[in-house]
Amino acid sequence: MFRTIAIRIVLGLLTLFAVSVLIFVSTEILPGDVASAVLGQGATPETLAVFRAELGLDRPAYTRYFEWFFKAIQGDFGVAMTNKRVIIETLEPRFLNTMFLAGYAALIAVPLSVGLGIVAAINEGKAVDKVANVLSLMTISVPEFFIAYILILFLAVQYDIFPSLSTVFADMSFTERLYVAALPAATLTMLVMAHMLRMTRTSVLSIMSQPYIEMAFLKGLSRSHVILRHALPNAAAPIISVVALNLAYLIVGVVVIEVVFVYPGVGQYMVDGVSKRDLPVVQACGLIFAGAFVGLNTIADVLAILVNPRLRNPR
Amino acid sequence: MTEFDNLKTMFESGKLSRRDFMSGLAAIGAGAALTPSLLSSSAMAATPKVGGTLRIGMEGGSATDSLDPRTYADSVMIAASLACMNGLVEFDNAGNPTGELLESWEAKPGAIDWTFNVRKGVKFSNGKTLTADDILYSIAIHRGETKSPAKGILAQIKEIKKVNENQIAVTLESGNADFPSILGDYHLVVVPDGFTDWQKPIGTGGYTLESFEPGVRLVFKRRGDYWKPGRANFDMVEIRNIQDAAARTAALQSGQVDAVNRLDARTVDLLMKDSKLNVVRTKGTGNRFCFVSRVTEKPFDNNDLRLALKYGIDREQIIKSVYNGFATPGNDHTLDALNPFYNTEMPQRKYDPDKAAFHFKKSGLGNTKIELQTSEGAWATAVDCATIFQQSLKKAKINLDVKKVAADGYWDNVWLKVPFCAVYWGRRPTADQVMSQVYGGNSDWNDSNWRKPSFDAIVKEARAELDQNRRKEMYWACQEMIADDGGMICFAITDYLDGFSKKVMGTEPHARYDMNDNRIAEKGWFA
Amino acid sequence: MRIFGYKPSLSAWIGILIIAIFLIIAIFADWIAPFPEEETVSATWDSPSADYLLGTDNIGRDMLSRLIFGARMTIGVALVTTILSFILGTVTGFLAAVGGQVIDQALSRLVDVMLSIPLLIFALIILSMFGSSIPTLIITIAVLDSTRVFRLSRAVAMNLVVMEYVEVARLRGEGLWWVMRREILPNALPPMISEFGLRFCFNFLFVAGLSFLGLGIQPPFADWGGMVRDNAKAISFGLPAPLWPAFAIAIMTVGVNLVVDWILSINSRPSGASAEM
């Protein structure tokens, strides 16, 4: 079992390495360059050439990759091309903000959706099931910023319950942060709930047709008892994997939410980096995102191996 | 009561906006000379109060911003730099250059040799007194080996030198009567001689920088010893980056900020109904929205096609549908009606499907494919404008293909490259800058690629001409040449729309930029 | 009445009805819509009236007509995209399951890599390589989407590969392709159909979401996701404009899923792997 887990972790690291190469290469081939993006309408061919040389864009790509990679694994992402700030100093607080918001949303969304998914499974075909089903489908039928606007309209503008600006600052206390970030957390919760809810429900139900579950029913156990004690532990692996995927989404996919709620996370930093073609910034953000994604997936796989007896000894 | 007194009374009682008042004055032929005193007396009527924290929500910043003046490109950094630093030249609300750190100036005939007087007794936030060396350094960083966008406009300086501690002399390559306005460019802010630490800027402004998180917020604190009397009245100023228009509006409505820039024209009507808010509209000084064709490429080398497209665009419809009426129609050049050299007698080009069809037929192009590339990266509503254009051309039996392209990299990959695309131009302080940057034969950004030696000759002559009437004739001719022959369809010039809480004072419209020339931190106060 | 030999339940009938109505609207849009798709007929965001039953949109076009024409574009693009992503995802997924450890690991890690590159960068690369057009749009979404289909189809097939009848076929000496087509596919169908329903709906929004890259539907054509996007600002002022296209998407989503749920329930023993992504 430990060997399986070790292999999974090594594979995760290899994946991350491959991603780092790809991110580097792909940012290099993005059309347009930082020089003309930064200088905009004010650029002349000679100012462009000066700026390019200043940034070291005239050296070969592979030397720059290895320099970048070895510094990056030590946490040094270099200096932003556009404003000459040390990237890690900008990135770190933003990454913590992103993690805070993702964690906040996950703490609400995961228990809620897994719980509702189980309730729906217990009451399969009944009104509760159908309502949960349709409501969760509704939330995925609209773009995320639309949910955000509706929440702002009602909870911030009409009834002044929560602030519409969710900017968190270094000097804010934890409870202040919770209050300020309430609306984006609620929006994210609605976004990821449908998927987790449906998957929990389906996984539990698909286990329900297994012979040992029929056996449990034949013993005369109640439906809820069978689901909670017999079906759920065996359905855990796919649920974990779906939860991991959605957690990754909470970290990686929240750019739009950050823009609407003016939340200083990594996503906005990357978008600004991309539009200004600030390659070190884009690469740093890309690597952080990829690391979060691969890390979460690896943890999910390891957990799945741990909880599922059949996966502990693969063929 | 004379017409003038009438206007004056209406203005002072608030029935007329400053802008209407100014245009009223122009209409009755009152000279510009007497207006500044009148305007300032009215503005001074209320004495500014000191105190409070002004929270501004602004679009036009990003996580890659820097306080280095050689990188300024958008509103947030312009406003931030003017909070803690000063420019060389300021503009009054009508758009005329007035002294800032360069207190006054004088030109020898021919407008080649200039002397500027440096303001005395101004102190930087580190205690140093301003001298001519600081001014020279602050200009020098934009010249020579630099990536500064101001490099281009300063290229006309042949020699710049210190006369004494409080005076500098400038010699230009060729005469330019508007040179002081050139020095009002927003990149040209003043720091002490030899200064390089842009993370902690030192300036002569009314505030000092407390903290700066790029793309998030800037916080400023009042210095208390500002050299401009009655200015910089807030204890603290906080500028927050809010890129999304709906988020800005919501923040203003829910009282989380006191001022926002760039309101969405389509929803501004509803904001005006809010009794706690004050919407400030600056008519026709905003962005100039254009569809520009390259006259050197087929089929746009055919002027009949260009005229067909100019007559075939329904400007009124676009202004009504997309800008909710908060724009003025463009007359196919990017000079606005507030510019003293705007050609007021050239008829406004109107939507005329018959004329469009006539010119299109005359062009003999038949079924040639005409493709317009547009993108939300050009400006947010560029696609909507193109859609209405496409539809209005249909009535003239002209088929236009509208292609929506990526917002990302639009200015790199599309503008100046494809034959027909969407572009916007910002306001330039002088007619000369408009003519030479947008249409000049040597300009890198001559996006219509319309280059005429005869046109360039007139522009060059007008630049050095000190007789305003002669200049006016020349610029009028330029505008006619561009509109009748050029490749640019300039269909709308938008209004700037700022939103303020009612308690913020000093929010007059300004001829140059929104948010009272991005100086609301300096010019405003709480009632 | 029976469909494919099965009797639909009441909710399935509702779903079928919704889909049928939308399909009819899409096909006969030219006859049904009261106004042309692109014509500005009134002021921006007019409220619903006798002339404009659902009001007007962000540049004064008739909302109802846009919705009707939008059905064609939205359903068409989403359908083609989803089918393409399923072909791609299923073939690679089955191959990973049947083809042995090496192929499996190679494909799985490749998908991991693809999924962990931020969407923004990924889409930009595709855009820079292929330019922007409706085919590019379809291919981009299909490729991105197929990674998720891959995970599902691989998981489903993994469970089937160990079944006796697959072993038998292999011992008979049948080729990979034959095994995938004749033994795996028929048995993997139910969970795949379920996923098809969900992904079909995700793709509506995906089309709209990608328009910031210039990959969206070209003007003046309408698509529902884009209509929500274009009109979203109106909601800040309590105007209902963006709700109409959002409702259309929601109803279509619910309709498709009602049918999907029914198809799933036909198969009395859903495969355990259907819960995987």
3-state secondary structure B196-232: CCCCCCCCCCCEEEEEEECCCEEEEEECCCCCCCCCC
A65 contacts A56 by C-beta, under 8 angstroms: no
Residues 6+ apart with CB under 8 A from C233: A149, B245, B246, B264, B266, B267, C58
- Coil, helix or strand at residue B523: helix
Residues of A in Cβ contact (< 8 Å) with B255:
160
| Residue carrying structure tokens 């700026």 | A51
Q: Given CB atoms, is C39 within the 8 Å cutoff of chain B?
A: yes
Task: Note the pLDDT of residue C214.
Answer: 59
Chain B positions touching C38 (Cβ under 8 A) are 387, 390-391
Give the tokens for residue B15: 């029935």
Instruction: Measure the CA–CA gap between C235 and A145, rounded to whole angstroms.
Output: 11
Selected residues 90-149 of chain C with any CB under 8 Å from a CB in chain A: 105, 109, 112-113, 115-122, 124-125, 128
Average pLDDT, chain A: 81
CA–CA dist B303, B349 (Å, integer): 16
User: Hey, are the CB atoms on B216 and A167 less than 8 Å from each other?
Assistant: yes
- Which two three-digit tokens encode residue A21? 């190469």
Distance of CA A234 to the CA centre of its chain: 26
Helices A144-151 and A182-207: angle between axes, nearest 10 degrees: 130
**How many other CB atoms are there within 10 angstroms of residue A178's CB atom?**
14
How far is A177 from A166, CA to CA, in rounded Å?
8
Whether C268 has a pLDDT exceeding 60, the answer reads: no
Touching check for C274 and chain A: CB below 8 Å?
Answer: yes
Three-state secondary-structure class, residue B116: strand
For the cut 70, the answer to whether the pLDDT of residue B507 exceeds it is yes
User: Which of C223, C238, C220, C232 is closest to C47 using CA atoms?
Assistant: C238
Task: Provide the 3-class DSSP secondary structure of residue B150.
Answer: coil
pLDDT value, residue C274: 39
Q: Are strands B102-107 and B157-164 parallel, antiparallel or unpaired?
A: unpaired
pLDDT of residue C128: 67
Nearest Cα of chain B lies from the Cα of A261 at a distance, in angstroms, of 7
Residues 6+ apart with CB under 8 A from A261: A148, A164, A165, A166, A183, A184, A187, B247
pLDDT of residue A31: 58
Rounded distance between C-alpha atoms, residue B270 and residue B317, angstroms? 21
Average pLDDT, chain B: 87
Q: Which of the listed CATH numbers 1.20.1250.20, 1.10.3720.10, 3.40.309.10, 3.30.1490.20 matches domain A87-275? A: 1.10.3720.10
Helix ranges restricted to H, B312-442: 315-321, 353-363, 382-394, 410-413, 431-438
Query: Count of CB atoms within 10 A of residue C11's CB?
Result: 17
Question: How many Cα atoms sit within 13 Å of A145 on the Cβ side?
Answer: 26
Q: Which two tokens stand for residue C56?
A: 């007007």
**C62 vs C45: CA distance, rounded Å:** 9
Higher-pLDDT residue of A264, C272 = A264
Residue B274 has pLDDT above 60, yes or no: yes
- pTM for the full model? 0.82
- Is there a contact between A198 and C198 if contact means CB atoms under 8 Å apart? yes
Chain A residues with CB inside 8 Å of C202's CB?
140
All partners of chain A with 3 or more CB pairs under 8 angstroms: B, C
Which residue of chain B comes nearest to C127, CA vs CA? B406
CA-nearest residue to B253 within chain C is C236
Residues in chain A within 8 Å Cβ distance of B378? none
- pLDDT single digits (tens) C76-108: 888 888 999 999 999 998 888 888 778 888 888
Please check whether residue B404 touches C, CB under 8 A: yes
Cβ contact C57:C230 at 8 Å: yes
Q: Under an 8 A CB cutoff, do B246 and C213 touch?
A: no
Report the helix count and the strand count for chain B, using DSSP H and E.
19, 21
A173 Cα to chain C: minimum distance (Å): 30
Which of A 251-310 lie inside 8 A of B, CB atoms?
259-262, 264, 268-269, 272-276, 278, 281
Find all residues with CB under 8 Å of A103, minimum gap 6, and list them: none
Q: What is the mean pLDDT of residues B303-317?
A: 95
What is the pLDDT at residue A100? 92
Tell me which chain A residues have a C-beta less than 8 angstroms from the C-beta of C201: 137, 140-141
Confirm whether C71 is domain-assigned. Answer: yes
CB atoms within 10 A of CB B74: 14
CB contact under 8 A, A242 and C125: no
Q: Are B116 and B167 in contact (CB under 8 A)?
A: yes
d(CA B161, CA B125): 25
CA distance linking residue C206 with residue C219, whole number of Å? 17
The closest CB to that of C212, out of B267, B321, B407, belongs to: B407
Name every residue whose Cβ is closer than 8 Å to that of residue B261 and which is 6 or more positions away in sequence: B56, B57, B58, B59, B60, B75, B248, B496, B498, B514, B515
Main-chain dihedrals φ then ψ at residue B280, nearest 5 degrees: -105, 125
Q: Touching check for A21 and chain C: CB below 8 Å? A: no
Is the pLDDT assigned to residue B361 strictly greater than 50? Answer: yes
Closest CA in chain A for residue C256: A137
Q: Report the domain count for chain C.
A: 1
Tell me the pLDDT band of B476, cut-offs 50, 70 and 90. Answer: very high
Residue type present at position B148: S
Give pLDDT, residue C213: 58
Q: How far is CA C136 from the centre of its chain?
A: 16
Nearby residues of C20 by Cβ (< 8 Å), 6 or more positions away:
none
Task: Please write the tens of the pLDDT for every residue from B199-225.
Answer: 899 999 999 999 999 989 999 999 988
Q: Provide the strand spans (E) within B144-302.
A: 157-164, 167-172, 207-213, 217-222, 236-241, 259-260, 277-282, 288-293
Let me know if B23 is exposed, middle or buried by CB neighbors in 10 A (0-12, 13-18, 19+): middle
CB contact under 8 A, C218 and B391: no
Residues in chain B with CB shorter than 8 Å from the CB of C59 are 321-322, 384, 387-388
- In which element (H, E) is residue A295 found? helix A279-307
Q: Do A40 and B65 touch (CB under 8 A)?
A: no
CA–CA distance, B245 with B438 (Å, rounded to integer) = 29
The pLDDT value given to residue C209: 67
User: Interface pTM (ipTM) of the complex?
Assistant: 0.78
Say whether the peptide bond before residue C220 is cis (omega within 30 degrees of 0): yes
Q: Give yes or no for a contact between A153 and C236, defined as CB atoms under 8 angstroms apart.
A: yes
Interface of C with A in 214-243 (CB under 8 A): 225, 228-229, 232-233, 235-236, 238, 242
Distance in angstroms (rounded) separating the CA atoms of residues B97 and B90: 6
User: Backbone phi, then psi, for B207, in 5-degree steps?
Assistant: -130, 160
The DSSP code sequence of chain C is --BTTB---HHHHHHHHHHHHHHHHHHTHHHH-SS-SS-B-SSTTPPP-SSSTT-B-TTSBBHHHHHHHHHHHHHHHHHHHHHHHHHHHHHHHHHHHHS-HHHHHHHHHHHHHHHHS-HHHHHHHHHHHH-SSHHHHHHHHHHHHHHHHHHHHHHHHHHHHTSHHHHHHHHTT--HHHIIIIIIHHHHHHHHHHHHHHHHHHHHHHHHHGGGGT-SPPTT---HHHHHHHHGGGGGGT--TTHHHHHHHHHHHHHHHHHHHHHHHHSSS--GGGG--
pLDDT of B407-438, one tens digit each?
A: 777 887 788 889 999 999 988 888 998 998 89
Helical (H) or strand (E) element with B103? strand B102-107
Domain span including residue C248: 10-267
Tell me which chain B residues have a C-beta less than 8 angstroms from the C-beta of C218: 402-404
B66: tokens are 């820097």
Establish if C5 belongs to a structural domain: no
Suggest the residue from B199, B216, B219 to mutate for an interface test with chain A (most A CBs closer than 10 A): B216
Lowest mean pLDDT among A204-213, B74-83, B391-400: A204-213
Query: B158 with B90: CB under 8 angstroms?
Result: no
- Tell me the shortest Cα–Cα distance from C74 to chain B, in angstroms: 17
Chain B residues closer than 8 Å to A48 by CB? 147
Q: Is residue C101 part of a domain?
A: yes
Chain A residues in contact with B199 by the CB 8 A cut-off are 85
Which residues on chain A are in Cβ contact (under 8 Å) with C117? 19, 22-23, 26, 286, 290
Q: Nearest CA to C271 among A227, A206, A304, A311?
A: A206
Decide if B167 contacts B119 (C-beta within 8 A): no
In our burial notation (b when 16+ CB lie closer than 10 A, e otherwise), range C20-59 reads eebeebbeebeeebebbbbebebebbbeeeeebebbbbbb
Hey, are the CB atoms on C132 and B406 less than 8 Å from each other? yes
Set of chain B residues whose Cβ sits within 8 Å of the Cβ of C230:
384
Cα gap B211→B194, rounded to integer Å = 23
CATH number for the domain including C148? Answer: 1.10.3720.10
Distance from CA of B525 to the nearest CA of A (A): 24
Shortest distance between the Cα of C140 and any Cα of chain A, in A, equals 16
Mutation site, C46, C59, C229, interface B, largest B CB count within 10 A: C59
Q: Which residues of B97-132 are buried (b: 16+ CB within 10 A; e: fewer)?
A: bebbbbeebebeeebbbbebbbbeebebbeeeebbb
At residue B483, the pLDDT reads 95
Q: Are B271 and B265 spatial neighbours (Cβ–Cβ below 8 Å)?
A: no
- By the CB < 8 Å criterion, does A29 face chain C? yes
Angle at C208 between CA C204 and CA C212, to 5 degrees: 155
Length of chain B: 527
Q: In which band, very low, low, confident or very high, does the pLDDT at C267 lie, cut at 50, 70 and 90? A: low
Alpha-carbon distance of A257 to A273, in angstroms, equals 17
Q: What is the pLDDT of residues B105-134, one digit of tens each?
A: 999 988 999 999 999 999 999 999 999 999
Cβ atoms of B501 and B278 within 8 Å: the answer is yes
How is B400-424 classified by DSSP, letter by letter?
EEEEE--STTHHHHTTTTSSEEEEE
Least confident range from A34-38, A259-263, B464-468, C253-257: namely A34-38
Torsion of CA B154, B212, B74, C209, to 10 degrees: 150
Q: How confident is the model at residue B489 (pLDDT cuts 50, 70, 90)?
A: very high
* A-to-C residue pairs, Cβ atoms closer than 8 angstroms: 137
- Decide if C128 and A15 are in contact by the 8 Å CB cutoff: no
